[in-house]
Amino acid sequence: MALPLVLFDVNGTLSDMGRMTQHVEEIGAPPQLAGLWFATVLRDGFALTAAGENPAFRAVAEGALRVVLAGQVLNRDVDDAVAHILTAMQQLPVHPDVADGIRGLTAAGFELAALTNGAATTASGLLERAGVRDAFAAVLSVEDGPGWKPAAGAYTHALAALGRGADDVVLVAAHPWDIDGASRAGLRTAWLNRDASPYPSAMVPPDHEVAQLGDLLSALRT
């Protein structure tokens, strides 16, 4: 039986968004704003997607950042603060489990790709800094498709670019909304649940659940 292609989400799944709390503190804001900001970015991007648009991730991220920073006392002016945060977002590391997990999948013969709601250049830069860019056959962005994940068209556009059928691809993501959307589009799914979080009951559950990327290889073999 041929191995499925393993398609990775990027922001938060491979990149360590937890590092953003430190960067938010650097501009004098409460560290909790990092989580609120990222939820707000996705909320606004999904809203625009639901309304039929396909906005640029960076534009949505900047707009949401200016909203969550409004009324906060910062240690610099707001334009400098926004530039600091958006630059930091471009320079995130991967999670500690990523590099070895990726190499284990490659060694076992799996073809890998990535599909991000962000820019393909940002995702490629992340993978290059982590030394694993060569392990990915393709780094795709929804920028080239009809809308953000979890709209069905985001996944089907990626499947066409990869030349694979939906049931021949496993979407790996840390976000239940991505698992849900991929599952509705027909893909197989694996939820990377690093912090033992509950799964939202309104969403389609994953085919596999792993606590770290190193556990994915054995999960996909069962």
Choose one: 9-17, 127-135, 157-165, 177-185; the region binding a copy of itself (CB under 8 A).
Answer: 177-185
Q: Confirm if 63 and 44 have CB atoms less than 8 A apart.
A: yes
Backbone angles phi, psi at 130, to 5 degrees: -85, -5
Q: Is 200 in the site for a copy of itself (CB under 8 A)?
A: yes
Q: Is the dihedral of CA 200, 201, 207, 209 positive or negative?
A: positive
User: Which positions from 65 to 94 touch a copy of itself by CB under 8 A, shown as an x/- string?
Assistant: -xx--xx-----------------------
For a copy of itself (CB under 8 A), the number of binding residues is 47
- Alpha-carbon distance of 175 to 192, in angstroms, equals 8
Q: Is 197 in the site for a copy of itself (CB under 8 A)?
A: yes
> The tokens 């970015």 sit on which residue?
41
Q: Which of 147, 109, 111, 155 lies closest to 6, judged by CA? A: 111
Single-letter code of the amino acid located at 72: Q
Q: How far is the CB of 89 from a copy of itself (least distance, A)?
A: 16
The residue ranges that bind a copy of itself (CB under 8 A) are 30, 32, 35-36, 39-40, 42-44, 46-53, 55-56, 59-60, 62-64, 66-67, 70-71, 147-148, 150-152, 176-177, 180-181, 184-185, 195-198, 200-203
